[in-house]
Structure 1
Amino acid sequence: MDLSSATWRKGARSGENGGNCVEVAAVPGVVAIRDSKDPEGPKVFVEFGIFRRLADAIKNN
């Protein structure tokens, strides 16, 4: 999947200290997830509904 024009975002609670952060980008049909420290490394792709449930579960714990 071509991610060259993807707009990557860090979580609102991510610090500026280069800690352990993930970044997400909405791309056609899915949400792409990557490690902010390794932007050229592997990515995970999940459907929007699954990502929403994951994000909600993280927020509620």
Structure 2
Amino acid sequence: MLKSAKDVGFKKVIGALRRSLMYQFLLESFLLTAISMTIAIATYRAAVANPVNALKYE
């Protein structure tokens, strides 16, 4: 979080537009959410899988 605040501060100093900062924030948030959801789905599928059937395909 501190690195992100420093990054935003630096971009403001060099003249970044508020819109570009918002786009960056939204893009980073979307990417982190998408990666987290992908990991969560894979973990859920592994947790509910029948161990016998899961081992058949390895």
Relative to the length of structure 2, the TM-score reads 0.35
Q: Which has the larger radius of gyration?
A: 2
Q: Which structure is higher in strand share?
A: 1
Q: Which structure is higher in helix share?
A: 2
Relative to the length of structure 1, the TM-score reads 0.33
